[in-house]
Amino acid sequence: MRRVHLVATVCLVAALPLSAFAAKKPLHDISLVWKPVKSLAKVGAVDLTGMTSLALRVQPLTDARKDATRIGENREDENEHKILTVTTRDDVPKFCTEHLETVLGDLGLNTGQTTDGLSLAGEVIQFFVTERNTYVGDVRLKLRLVRPNGDVLWTGLVAGSEEHWGRSYKAENYHETLSDSLVVAAFNLLK
């Protein structure tokens, strides 16, 4: 009987370090990283007739999200009421502004800090990834196209979503999904 208890105790002690590795490290206050994996060639074609000669300035976006820190959550164990959040301390609107301008330039627009052309202004409505079996991104921007004199030419909601596979609750997968969702939102803006 002692031998059974001894073997059980040894097995329990040996399993303790393994259980420590099984727990997922919280993804709190992670830095935002630009990591698109979807090439612009795979996004699709856009007709830029008449747009390549226009100068477009992307104004700093503002944040309209309820929680400026939350950028994702893991819901794989939601039936057990275990939802793991992903947060950042970084400036999400600044991140979106910089990379929206870059992607629009890569798609063929003349972007930059010009003051004599059109400007694109707006707010971040959603910047989030929900992870269940896959990572699903949801980026929504409420934008307006403005003339130098302040006249608004267009207002609209632009959305982008991408889905990725990956290991559970990993920052890299959240970065890739958010980046690709923003790429798709920029593409949808030009469509």
Give 39-63 as a DSSP string: -HHHH-----TTTTTSEEEEPPPEE
Mean pLDDT of the chain: 87
All domains in the chain, ordered by first residue: 25-190 (3.40.50.10610)
Is 105 within 8 Å of 55 (Cβ atoms)?
Answer: no
Least confident range from 28-42, 109-123, 155-169: namely 109-123
pLDDT the model gives residue 21: 41
pLDDT tens digit string along 98-149? 999 999 998 888 887 666 789 999 999 999 999 999 999 999 999 999 999 9
Name the burial class of residue 109, with classes exposed (0-12), middle (13-18) and buried (19+) by CB atoms within 10 angstroms of its CB: buried
Better-scored residue on pLDDT, 100 or 25: 100
pLDDT at 13 over 60: no
**pTM score:** 0.84
Cα–Cα distance measured from residue 179 to residue 113, given in angstroms and rounded to the nearest whole number: 23
Cα–Cα distance measured from residue 88 to residue 96, given in angstroms and rounded to the nearest whole number: 14
The full DSSP string for 129-170 is EEESSSEEEEEEEEEEEE-TTS-EEEEEEEEE--EE--STT-
